[in-house]
A and B are shown apart, each in its own frame.
Chain A
Amino acid sequence: MDVVKLQKQLVDYRASLYHEAFLDEQFTQLQELQDENNPDFVVEVVSLFFEDSERLLNELAKALEQQSIDFKRVDAHVHQLKGSSSSIGAQRVQKVCITFRNYCEEQNVEGCLKCLQQVKHEYSLVKTKLETMFKILAAGGSIPM
């Protein structure tokens, strides 16, 4: 693919992500923060997000498997996930986290388990999408603003 095409693809793809609410304007901010001094900023932050989220999701799964669930702990994890997803603009993940937290407050095990599934799902979706975008970027060289 030639560069122009790639770039177009990137733009379109990105636009779709926004459109489908996978990403929100926070992601735009991230991109704006990237500059020549910090050329890989977006990739860096997003990678960190992936790592951290995976860890949190594991912790969540473990915590919810317990005989007697420690909701405070679960809530703390979800809170963190919410914070980091909002920081990179992963809107859908963030939204699920909000619902998740409500269930935690109510100590609703069913609800929590359901939300966990949902959040995992949303997370893997956004991860795939971002990874795809990065591939295009890598191929194309840069993100046209």
Chain B
Amino acid sequence: MTVERAISEPKDQFPIGMRVLAVDDDPTCLLLLETLLRRCQYNVTTTSQAITALKLLRENKNKFDLVISDVHMPDMDGFKLLEHVGLEMDLPVIMLSANGDTKLVMKGITHGACDYLLKPVRIEELQNIWQHVVRRKKFDRKDGDNSGSQDKPHIDNGGAAGMGGVDQNGKLNKKRKDQNEDEDEEHDENGHDNEDPSTQKKPRVVWSVELHRKFVAAVNQLGIDTEAVPKKILELMNVEKLTRENVASHLQKYRLYLKRISCVANQQANMAAALGSADSNYLRMGPLNGLGTFHTLAGSDQLHNAALRSFPPSGVLGRLNTPAGLGMRGLPSPGMIQLGHVQNSGNTSNDQSKLQSFVIPGNHNANTLQGMPMSLELDQLQNNKGVSHIGELPTAANTTVFPVSGSLMDARISGCSNNPLLGVTSNSLMLEGSSQQTTLHPSNLRDSVSTMGFQNGNTLSDFTSIATASNQLQCSKADLQCQASPTSCNAGQIIRSAPPEWNAPYHSNVMCCSINSSIPVNGAMVPLGQCLDQNNPNFHRNMDLDSIAPSNFVDPISLKRSEGFNSAMEPAVIQKEGYFQPRPQGGYNVGSLEDLASAMMKEGPDTRKLADGDFGCNGYSHRTCI
């Protein structure tokens, strides 16, 4: 049956013909599995390579209903695959292993697996797996937005669940990422399209940056642990065509994300410090894509790639990134980056928005950013120039806004050095930014950034919030490196996605960004989570890049900068690790982001330099990144 058809088949016929993708490197087991599945009357496709599996899945998102995968595989860890699938495709994944260790099983479940089976598999067990598909679909159907998307989200994956094409801007934010699976790209499918407002029609709801921002704003307003029920959130958000179910599943993922972030947050703080030095950390963030919230990066192991990846840069942090985020060197406007949706490293194109990642969580840094750290940072950043993104920073006072969340943390960010743009030049930056706004990051930052950065006055406020959130922005280091953490994440993300935009000197930054984007995404996510937890208000603000009021930005930033930035960076960095978990070890096969991140990381010192050189405030080439 055709792919779609399967889904729309009547319930009673449904299990029959369900399309399963089986992945196992052991040929004996694979053949056995295939035969068993066929016996259950499912439609089976097999492959012994995880990479091939991902390719198949990516080719056509709607081609499969369910994925069964072995845990131990030579080319890619089963958990990584799990994350990817969860984030990118939001399909139910069942893990399979000869090893029934409770720890492993736990790992599988926390990564978002629907089920964990032990080898040898019995046919009775396989006869029930279709339930997972139905469960998932149910949410989607109810939403009514998608008609047959099976994957919809959900709750398990935390990933993309509700992607609603609502706002295209930001494609999926990082939210997803942490939770489960790594799937950082999760939304990538949806995500990148964010450009299209009419995505709603699509079966999946794309949680664009903008949409996610609204969501977070609503949640913050209501109180994450108390009043934030889907119904009320939906009312507050007031988005057309978004259903309660979309919100419900997204909320679930978000909650998971927050949890992860809080773990990561601690790490992030460390990371921030480390950011300055830890390029590698930044890399980690890379995978985070978009999450920008470094927080996640740092601590959230969970976020690991999956989060980052999947999180299409909610970009929330994007703002935060503002300078900090970009930390990378020139952090192209962390805030901006965030916006970048860092969509999952995968999507790069859309990533931009992803970066948005919630740098906000940057809060972990202790809020130092509180408020304006960003702006301050920017000043400092000026040196960095790298701040390219900052361009977005609302220069209100300091263009530095970038400090935002270092989500971009990418190791590069450590340099926030880009700042030159930021602070003082903020004006100049802004100017540049403003003009560049468009350039900044056309893709992601779009929403967030543009509003932010250029608003000079406004952006700052955004940043501030971001900054606070991101703490990272603290950039006090002048490098903004840290701060960028959340932003960096974002920035990273944005950058990543934005590379094309960046045409400007940002090459290096772009690189960073690119990496960052991947990282930040996650990072962003984390911070976001944290922010939420810690400073809802801050976070909230971050989320709204647009509305940020520059004023705050200025003061806090300077203070915070030093602290924030570092911390920001750190978390991001950390996140990366956590996020990716396997992190570069090899787990990263997947991500291009990772590669980027690693590349970026390596470049660290160089990039920084570049950043300075390139960014030179003048043209903040970074901005383009944004």
- Partner pick for B28 among A29, A33, A38, A87, CB 8 A cutoff: A87
B interface list, Cβ under 8 A from A: 25-29, 31-32, 35-36, 39, 70, 72, 74, 97-99, 119-123
| Bound form: Cα–Cα A29–B26 in Å | 18
Chain B residues whose CB sits within 8 angstroms of the CB of A84 once the complex forms = 26, 28-29
Q: Is the CB of A88 within 8 A of B32?
A: yes
For chain A, what secondary structure do more than half of its interface residues adopt (helix, strand, loop), or is it mixed? helix
Q: Is the CB of A45 within 8 A of B119?
A: no
Q: Is the CB of B98 within 8 A of A83?
A: yes
Query: Which segment of A3-11, A74-82, A112-120, A137-145 sits at the interface?
Result: A74-82
Q: Is the CB of B122 within 8 A of A29?
A: yes
| Bound form: Cα–Cα A29–B39 in Å | 12
Asked if A33 meets B39 with Cβ closer than 8 Å, knowing A76-B72, A79-B72, A87-B119, the reply is yes
Q: Is the CB of B25 within 8 A of A80?
A: yes
- Chain A nearest CB, measured from B76 CB (Å): 14
Chain A residues whose CB sits within 8 angstroms of the CB of B28 once the complex forms = 45, 48-49, 52, 84, 87-88
Chain B residues whose CB sits within 8 angstroms of the CB of A49 once the complex forms = 28
A55: nearest chain-B partner, CB-CB: B27
Q: Is the CB of B32 within 8 A of A45?
A: yes
| Bound form: Cα–Cα A41–B120 in Å | 16
| Bound form: Cα–Cα A38–B31 in Å | 12
Chain A residues whose CB sits within 8 angstroms of the CB of B29 once the complex forms = 83-84, 87
A selection of 19 A-B contacts at a CB cut-off of 8 Å is A26-B120, A29-B120, A29-B122, A33-B123, A45-B28, A45-B35, A48-B31, A52-B28, A76-B74, A79-B72, A80-B26, A80-B72, A80-B98, A84-B26, A86-B120, A87-B119, A88-B28, A88-B32, A89-B120
Q: Is the CB of A79 within 8 A of B99?
A: yes
A interface list, Cβ under 8 A from B: 26, 29-30, 33, 38, 41, 44-45, 48-49, 51-52, 76, 79-80, 82-84, 86-89
Q: Is the CB of A82 within 8 A of B98?
A: yes
Q: Is the CB of B98 within 8 A of A86?
A: yes
| Bound form: Cα–Cα A76–B586 in Å | 15
| Bound form: Cα–Cα A45–B123 in Å | 16
Chain A residues whose CB sits within 8 angstroms of the CB of B31 once the complex forms = 44-45, 48
- Partner pick for B26 among A30, A41, A44, A52, CB 8 A cutoff: A52
Asked if A83 meets B26 with Cβ closer than 8 Å, knowing A29-B122, A33-B39, the reply is yes
**Most-contacted residue by chain B among A38, A48, A80 (CB, 10 A):** A80
Chain A residues whose CB sits within 8 angstroms of the CB of B36 once the complex forms = 33
**Most-contacted residue by chain A among B29, B70, B121 (CB, 10 A):** B29
9 closest Cβ pairs, A-B complex = A83-B98, A84-B28, A87-B120, A49-B28, A86-B120, A87-B29, A48-B28, A26-B120, A83-B119
A30: nearest chain-B partner, CB-CB: B32
B96: nearest chain-A partner, CB-CB: A83
| Bound form: Cα–Cα A86–B31 in Å | 13
Chain B residues whose CB sits within 8 angstroms of the CB of A76 once the complex forms = 72, 74
A53: nearest chain-B partner, CB-CB: B28
Asked if A33 meets B35 with Cβ closer than 8 Å, knowing A26-B120, A79-B72, A87-B119, the reply is yes
Asked if A79 meets B98 with Cβ closer than 8 Å, knowing A45-B28, A52-B28, A89-B120, the reply is yes
- Chain B nearest CB, measured from A13 CB (Å): 22
| Bound form: Cα–Cα A89–B32 in Å | 12
Q: Is the CB of B120 within 8 A of A52?
A: no
| Bound form: Cα–Cα A107–B25 in Å | 25
- Chain B nearest CB, measured from A54 CB (Å): 12
- Chain A nearest CB, measured from B358 CB (Å): 36
Chain A residues whose CB sits within 8 angstroms of the CB of B27 once the complex forms = 48, 51-52
- Chain A nearest CB, measured from B327 CB (Å): 36
| Bound form: Cα–Cα A47–B176 in Å | 43
A37: nearest chain-B partner, CB-CB: B38
| Bound form: Cα–Cα A43–B28 in Å | 11
Chain A residues whose CB sits within 8 angstroms of the CB of B74 once the complex forms = 76
| Bound form: Cα–Cα A76–B25 in Å | 12
| Bound form: Cα–Cα A76–B78 in Å | 14
Q: Is the CB of B72 within 8 A of A41?
A: no
